[in-house]
Amino acid sequence: MDRLDNTIRPYAWGSPTAIPQLLGVEPTGEPQAEMWMGAHPGAPSRTERGTLVEVIDADPEKELGPAAVARFGPRLPFLLKILAAGAPLSLQVHPDLAQAQQGYADEERRGIPVDAPHRNYKDANHKPELICALTAFDGLCGFRAPLEAAGLLDNLGVDSLKPYVDLLHAHPEDAALREVLTAILTADREEMSRTVEEAAAACTRIGGVYAPYADIAHHYPGDPGVIAAMLLNHVRLQPGEALYLGAGVPHAYLNGLGVEIMANSDNVLRCGLTPKHVDVPELLRIVRFHAADPGVLRPEAAPDGEEVYETPIDEFRLSRYVLPEAGTTHDLTRPTPQILLCTAGTVRVGEHALTPGASVFVPAGEKAEVSGTGTLFRATVIA
C-alpha cells in the first residue's frame, strides 16, 4: 500500500485554520479549502511510486481489480477530500450521467476549450457526492416547500420580493419553483442588487433562521444567489452526520469541516454566489424542481465495527471505523481499491501509523489490517 502525499487547494472560500488544526501544523495565513486524495488529474496524490495516476496507469487491473476496471474503466472512479469551508461556496447543481455525456459532446463539437470560463462540462461523467461532517457543518440542500419559502421571503417585508411570494403560491409546485428561480436569475441586475441589499438588512435585523442568509449576503453583496438560497433547505449537520447530493439537487456548503467523496468529475453548473459564469438556460435544464426534505444520513452498522453511509450509486462507498481501544485488529482487505483516511487519534494500517489527515491507498486485494485508537474513514467502490 502507498502512503499519500496530498495537495491542498487554496480556494478563496476556504478556512485558514481548520485543515491546519486537523493536521497539527501552523496555519499559513492563507485559505486552505480542500485536500484532495485520489487520482484526479488536476491534483493527483503522490506516492513513492509516482503520482497515483501514474501508479494506476502502469497496471490498472492490479491496482483497481478486474471488477472495478470492467465496471468503471482503468481509472479510480472516486475522489476523496477533506473540505474546510470558511465562507459559502457557490450555489450549484451537477448533471446526471446522460446529461453530462450529452453536454460534454456538444461543447466538444462546438470547439469550446475545456479551460474556457464559459464551459459547463469539463468531462463526460456525473458528479454525485457525499459530505460527512467532522465538525458542526452548515449547508443548503434541495428546495423547501414553496409555501415555506414564500413565508420566509414575505416575513422580510421587502416590497420587491412580493412578486416571488405570489409566484410561490401557484400550482403545481415544481412549476412555481421553476418560475421563481428563473425570475431571480434573469432579473435586472441593478434592481436585484437593491432587493438583495434590503433583504440582507432585514435578515440581519431579524436574525434566528435568517442569520445564515445575512452571512451569505455579507460574503456576496448584491448577488441574486442570496435570494435563490432562501428557496433551499438550510441544514446543520452534527459530527458524523452526512448529506448525499444527487444529480439536479441545488446545494451549497456554508461553513464547517467535513470528509467529502464524489464521482471523479468536475462538472458544475452554478446558480449564484459566485463571480463565475452562470448559464441560466442550461442550469434550468439540469435542476430538478422538486421540494423535499434534505435527508440527513447517519451511518448504518455493518459487520466488524464498520459504519456505512448508504447511497444509491456505485462509484463510491464511504464508511468509517471508530476504534475505541488499542489491541483489536480489523481486516479491511477488499477486492476493490481503497483510500483509508485517519481523522482522529492514531490508527495503524499495515506498516503505516496514521495521524489526523494522513491517508493511504490500498490496491485491490492487498492485505489491510487496521488497529489503534481513533477514527478511520474508508473510501472504496461497489463493483
Q: Residue 345 in contact with residue 323, Cβ under 8 Å?
A: yes
Catalytic position from the list 144, 270, 317, 378:
270
- Measured CA to CA, the distance from residue 380 to residue 367 in angstroms comes to 15
Residues 6+ apart with CB under 8 A from 40: 79, 264, 266
CA geometry: angle 265, 270, 275, nearest 5 deg? 115
Count of Cβ atoms closer than 10 Å to residue 363 Cβ: 18
**Mind giving me the DSSP string for 365-376?**
T---EEEEEEEE
Asked if 270 is an active-site residue, the reply is: yes
In a 13 Å sphere around the CA of 47, the CA atoms on its Cβ side amount to 21
- Measured CA to CA, the distance from residue 106 to residue 16 in angstroms comes to 39
Residue 185 gets the label, from left (phi > 0), alpha (psi -120 to 50) or beta, of alpha
**Of the candidates 143, 110, 156, 151, which has an alpha carbon nearest to the alpha carbon of residue 289?**
143
Q: Residue 236 in contact with residue 138, Cβ under 8 Å?
A: yes
Which residues are identified as catalytic?
270
